[in-house]
Every structure is written in structure tokens, then in C-alpha cells.
Amino acid sequence: MISGATPKTQSGLPTTSVIGYPVFSGKLEQVPIGNNTILINTMSPNSYGLAQKDAFLDEALKNSDVLTLDGMGVAMGSIILNGKNIKKIAGADTFDYFTSYFNQKGGRCFFVGSTEQTLRKIVNRLAIDYPDLEADYYSPPYKETLDWEDSLPIIEKINAFRPDVVFVGMSAPKQEKWAYQYKAHLDTKVIATIGNVFDWYAGNSKRPAKIWIKLRLEWFVRIFLRPEIFKRNTKNQLVFFKDVLFCLIKLKHV
């Protein structure tokens, strides 16, 4: 779909199609919190590139209940192909919104991913920042893929705790695929894959200053802070921009 049309998901949320992916074009306040579990993933040029060689990741992203824009490249793709600018909603924005939302309601949150040390830092800080929000966590084994045997104790602990939101902080594409695969097994209102937010919130690393985020140049600062990540992701990002160009000149159909 290469047009400015704004389709809606089954839940009625507005999306804009960016080279075949339904990117959320609304506000987090519009996300319905109810009986049905909402899966929130993020879309970036890197995740797009990964999905082109990983059919299950492609399926997971396209079947997200909310697929937020996290990356200037996707915004540029939407502007070029649709003439529509989509507001960036990074994993940190999703984390801030739902921790605040459920803190006000005396809710619960659960963290899956990272190390015991990092998770303890998160929970300790959370108790100060959001005193009315209960929290628990699980540090999964460090493996490329978590199978059912690995995932069952995670699921059991989550469901025993009955959180309102589950934050998944594994590296992409592991987190997106795990959350999608086990969504139906989790007793929670929201599942959000937020990646690097675990390390930022724990204080293991720093997010770029707000001025860079506001100017949509967070990615530029990250190149200098973590050049190894930029080098690792370059091929995936180039796949995204190539396909945007091909869509523009009608060489690729989505």
C-alpha cells in the first residue's frame, strides 16, 4: 500500500502502511486496556531488515496489536511514500506511559529479560519512581531462542503474579518473536517489547539527551556512543531504504 490512507486495526486503532507494515499512527492514550491482551512491538529500519530474512519475525511484527514507530528511517519512509509524518513512540515512551498509567491505578508490572543484577536495579528504582506499582521479574537463560521448556517457568511466574503489563527486554528479534509466540499463554493486559530500556532505566547505559530525542537525532548520537551496534545493523537498515526507494519507483509491491 503506497498511499496516504489510514487503515485501522481490529481494535479500531489508526495505522499507516509503511512498505507492508501497519505502523501505529495514534497516541498511546488510544490503546484500549481491557480483557484482551495488547501486544506492542516497535518498527525500525533494523527490525524491517531482520524481518525480510526471518518469516516468523515478519509475522510477529505484522500481527502486533500496536506496532509503534521507533526510528527516524521509518518516519522518513512514511513521509516519502505516504506524505504522512508519524510520531515516534520509542520503547522508552511506551515504558514511561504504562508505568505511570498503572502506578496511578495501583497496578503491577513484570520484567522478562536481562540479568538478575539489572532487574534488581530496575525494581529498586521503580519503587522510588512509582511507589504504587508492584513489580516482579524473571531473568531467562541466555540463549538465542527460548523454547517451551525455557518459557514455561517464565509463564508460570508471570501468571502467578498477574501483572497488568509485561515488559520484555531481550535483544531483537528474540523479544518480538518470544512475545508473539507466548502472548496467548500470558495473563496480562499489555505486553511491550522495549529492548534497551532495561539498561537505560537500570543505569547501565545512558539514553541521549532529550534535545536529541526531540530533534529525532537520537540514532545519530547512538552511532558515537555505540559504533559497534551501528556497524552490525547497517545492512538491515540499507535493506529498508532500498525497499522504500523501490516502492517509490514502483519496482516493489507490498
What is this structure's pTM? 0.86
pLDDT tens, 73-131?
666 666 566 667 788 899 999 999 999 999 999 999 999 999 999 999 999 999 999 99
156 confidence band (pLDDT: 50, 70, 90)? very high
Tell me what the pLDDT averaged over the chain comes to.
86
Burial 200-239 (b: 16+ CB within 10 A, else e): bbbeeeebbeeeebeeeebbebbeeeeeeebeebeebbeb
CB atoms within 10 A of CB 52: 13
pLDDT tens, 52-78?
999 999 999 999 999 999 876 666 666
Query: Starting from the edge strand earliest in sequence, which strands make up the sheet with 190-193, in order?
Result: 66-69, 38-43, 190-193, 165-168, 108-112, 134-138
* Fold of the CATH domain 1-204: Rossmann fold (3.40.50)
CB atoms within 10 A of CB 250: 8
The answer, yes or no, to whether residue 1 has pLDDT greater than 50, is: no
Describe the crossing of helices 174-182 and 55-62 by its angle, rounded to 10 degrees: 60
Domain ranges in the chain are 1-204
